[in-house]
Chain A
Amino acid sequence: MSVSSPTMTIQPMEKHRTKLNFARILLEGRAFFALVAIIISFSLLSPNYFTVNNFLIMSSHVAIFGLLAIGMLMVILNGGIDLSVGSTLGLCGVFAGFLMQGVESETLGVIFYPPVWAVVLLTCALGAFIGTINGVLIACFRVPAFVATLGTLYVARGVALLMTNGLTYNKLAGATELGNTGFDWLGFNRLGGIPIGVIILLTVAIITGLVLSRSAFGRWLYASGGNARAADLSGVPTMKVQISVYIISGICAAIAGLVLSSQLTSAGPTAGTTYELTAIAAVVIGGAALTGGRGTVKGTLLGAFVIGYLSDGLVIIGVSAYWQTVFTGAVIVLAVLLNSLQYGGRNKRT
């Protein structure tokens, strides 16, 4: 498996498939073809769509969902689900905002202004902490993943609201005299013309892709997602793997929270509401099986771009936001339908 950026060529077929026919290519590369179809259709419908600048803007929107989706992919490969990522994103954004406002210590009577790198690290640590709670609940206490992460969804959202009292942190730019400037760099700056958010997404994607295809952990993940009992008996530390995927998902959500609040230069407690569903949709459109064991980073990235480019395209050609919801839903159902076509014929052995 190779990780490709969406602008590069994707090979929808794998070398070993000898009996390739047209339908098979279409089915296996469906997310890619869907993306091509979306780009062509909107380019024809609107002259503003097919411009470099528009693609960069749309891609920086995709970055948020893409980061969540990569974390979600790890969880789904393990056969689980993480509903808490939207709330984790919100809470992490608020937490970063809180740190940027300065932490007051009453005993010392001073206010600490942590530098931006420390804010980033602490926020990622918070995401990892939430993921650890999910993972321990699911792996050690056998709470169903759906319920455990539904619980953390509520708790994280509630904590975010409590921290801000329902308000939004606005001053995230920092000040030169406090030595904490640069937070907006994540969301606004560009490197070689590419938004930082997109670069972060691609970096995370490449690292995750390497981990999945070339590391022992990746193999453990595919094995325990495919058949946990068999993996366990083959010496795979299935419990550690299970906890790890939720931690990774939490960290991905924290990074997404940082990028989003940096893009907005504000951190609101309701940021990221229902984003977990978009992330799940991206993973599913990317061809991963919700039962675990099947899925790739490449597919998930394509899925995220399909959703992002579709909804932004609908905005550009002026379709009502209500219709966008309908279209997104239809795409998701179609994707799942194709998934069951692809995987349905297999493993019927008793």
Chain B
Amino acid sequence: MNTAININVEPEVVLAARNIAKSYGNTHALKGVNFDIYRGSVTTLFGENGAGKSTLMKILSGVISPTSGKIILDGQPINFASPSESRDLGISIIHQELSLAPNLSVRDNIFMGREIMTATGVNFSEEERQTRELMKELEEDIDPLTPVEDLRLGQQQIVEIARALSVNARILIMDEPTSALSASEVEVLFKIIRDLTSRGVSIVYISHHLEEALQITDHAVVLRDGTMTAYAERQDIDLEWIVRHMVGEGFDLGSPPAGYDFGKTSLSIKSLCIPDQSGNDFNVVDELSLDVREGEVVCLYGLMGSGRTELMECIAGRLKPSCGTIVLHEHDISKLTIAQRIDAGLVLVPEDRQRDGLVQTMSVGKNLSLASISAFTSKLLTSTKAEQSLIDRMIKDVTVKTASDTAEIGSLSGGNQQKVVIGKMLATNPKVILLDEPSRGIDIGAKAEVFKLLAERARAGLSVIYSTSEVGECLSIAHRIIVLSKGRIAGEFNSSASKEAIMAASGESVAH
């Protein structure tokens, strides 16, 4: 399944990864990855969310250390103790999540941790001059003394790039550098990348914008579920090749449950607007209407910032809409609290299970029963017996692999943790379940189990709405695929649609 890899490192290879593995407890983020970065070329890493791209980049830049495996720089095995050590060796990284201090100025951010010192303190004027030069090079009109928090996201991204450039790195890692950039800014960035490679700098590039990445890359590495699945040079590949290796073949996530008719409309959303949560004057979800019927499985596909998370959180009651109604079985639930919506039969499985899904201090069993406490509470006290039978039933229903129900939730693998979060919500006997990226960060086997579970429930009349940013998952169990882009429905497909058509509708492959 993969191209032969040289164990001996060629002289043209600046940086090589050999058998890099990284585990977090029972979660294996990387399972032995090999690849080479050539001098003066762009190597792009392709992969879905959770494939291990960001973990790999963090290892290469010394932010985290691998569980096993070697990093070879210029033919010498190296161990980074810290990001500053890797920076001293000429490796610089632009993080996916901006790592700027918003309260500091552009100049201070660019020179953070390596201030230009003189005998009397920091040489601010020299720092400012260099910052100005960098900004000129990047064709961006940003004053070096502006606080970063006053810049819009795209400009902050430029500052992040400028910081990485300012250290004169030999290897520059860019993790989704264009996600917040406008088309013209992307052009400038690509010009700079070409300029850098002609000077011998090696670039490692990660992007979800596949076509965009194809424009700039020289080599392509595809990761899936922590292993490298393909490696090729630019002239040998096309978009279809990348998607095929990213999504994988031969593993079926299931097909839409069939052989029954949908029931009545269970959830009806009418012209829903959700204002931007950071106070900007636009709607992240704009006049969106959607009807879902009993037994129907609907997939919401969209990129980061398409509004799918906000849409789900609003339906579940965490965010307040600025207009529109949400009707569940002919009852308007727009004004209800989260608890009342759960009682009414509408539940959400949140995107980030560590932050929003699990109570880490509680056992597996208590996490499972958390949303249905009222079901086993009579008068004042809870019934231990009723709770135990509910927990046992849910562990069986959602097939959680755990030593016992009193085990700590942190001892479970990512996939089983996710099943606990889903089981917790299913225990309330919902009529509609919303799942925000239910497959995020879990391995392919667990993914299939989660989807099978949802398909079974749908057959019994549950309305399932799940979101994903992995196109392969849209086509697995969904009866209907809704593509979201900039808070609006950009397309509607059935399960026989092609991946390319869905991606095109979301704006993913049309970067310009």
Contact = CB atoms under 8 A, between A and B. Distances in A.
B68 to A, nearest CB: 18
Given A222-B361, A231-B359, A236-B370, A349 B342 contact: no
B72 to A, nearest CB: 26
* Size category, B interface: 35 or more
Given A235-B371, A237-B339, A349-B24, A226 B361 contact: yes
A210 B410 CA distance: 27
A216 interface: yes
B218 interface: no
Interface string B349-363: 010001111111110
B121 interface: no
Interface stretch (B372-380, B465-473, B475-483): B372-380
A222 B358 CA distance: 12
B351 to A, nearest CB: 11
Contacts of A225: 361
B136 interface: no
Nearest to A237: B339
Nearest to A291: B361
B245 interface: no
Contact of A219 (B339, B354, B366): B366
A24 B360 CA distance: 21
B430 to A, nearest CB: 11
B381 A215 contact: yes
A347 B374 CA distance: 28
B359 A223 contact: yes
Which of B357, B361, B408 has the largest number of chain A CB atoms within 10 A?
A: B361
Nearest to B406: A16
Contact of B382 (A219, A230, A237, A293): A219
Interface in A210-242: 210, 214-216, 219-220, 222-223, 225-227, 229-237
B419 interface: no
B358 A227 contact: yes
Contact of B371 (A215, A234, A347): A234
A51 interface: no
B381 to A, nearest CB: 4
A226 B316 contact: no
A216 B382 contact: yes
Contacts of B25: 348-349
B27 interface: yes
Interface in A281-323: 289, 292-294
A21 interface: no
A216 B359 CA distance: 16
Given A233-B318, A235-B342, A349-B354, A226 B381 contact: no
A215 B376 CA distance: 10
A216 B361 contact: no
Interface in B1-60: 24-25, 27
Contacts of A142: none
B415 to A, nearest CB: 13
A209 B405 CA distance: 22
A242 to B, nearest CB: 15
A350 interface: yes
B404 interface: yes
Contacts of A348: 25
Interface in A329-350: 346-350
B24 A233 contact: no
Given A237-B339, A293-B361, A347-B360, A232 B366 contact: no
B424 A227 contact: no
A16 B404 contact: yes
B406 to A, nearest CB: 4
A214 to B, nearest CB: 4
Which of B381, B410, B424 has the largest number of chain A CB atoms within 10 A?
A: B381
A350 B410 CA distance: 10
Interface residues of A, number: 31
Given A229-B355, A233-B350, A234-B424, A220 B361 contact: no
B209 to A, nearest CB: 26
A144 B359 CA distance: 22
Nearest to A211: B380
B391 interface: no
Contacts of B425: 234
B360 A226 contact: yes
A293 B338 contact: no
Contacts of A236: 339, 370
A175 B56 CA distance: 80
A293 B318 contact: no
Contacts of B371: 234-235
A349 B360 CA distance: 10
A348 B318 CA distance: 28
Nearest to B342: A235
B348 interface: yes
Contacts of A215: 377, 380-382
Interface in B216-242: none
Contacts of B404: 16
Which of A223, A237, A293, A294 has the largest number of chain B CB atoms within 10 A?
A: A223
Contacts of A231: 359, 370
A214 B356 contact: no
B27 to A, nearest CB: 7
A312 B407 CA distance: 40
Contacts of B382: 214-216, 219
Nearest to B29: A350
A84 B458 CA distance: 53
Contacts of B359: 222-223, 226-227, 230-231, 293
Contacts of A210: 381
A293 B356 contact: no
Nearest to A223: B359
B411 to A, nearest CB: 9
A346 B408 contact: yes
Interface in B368-403: 370-371, 373-374, 377, 380-382, 384
Nearest to A219: B373
Contact of A216 (B337, B374, B424): B374
A229 B408 contact: no
22 contacts: A14-B406, A216-B374, A222-B362, A222-B366, A223-B359, A223-B366, A225-B361, A227-B359, A227-B361, A231-B359, A233-B316, A233-B338, A233-B357, A234-B342, A234-B370, A234-B371, A234-B425, A235-B342, A236-B370, A292-B361, A293-B361, A293-B362
Given A230-B357, A292-B361, 17 more contacts: A14-B406, A16-B404, A219-B370, A222-B366, A226-B360, A227-B358, A227-B361, A230-B358, A230-B370, A231-B370, A232-B338, A233-B350, A233-B356, A234-B424, A293-B360, A349-B27, A349-B354
Interface of B: 24-25, 27, 316, 318, 337-339, 342-343, 348, 350, 354-362, 366, 370-371, 373-374, 377, 380-382, 384, 404, 406-408, 410, 424-425, 428
Going nearest first, the 9 A-B pairs with the smallest beta carbon separation are: A293-B361, A226-B361, A235-B339, A226-B359, A234-B371, A235-B342, A16-B406, A214-B381, A227-B359
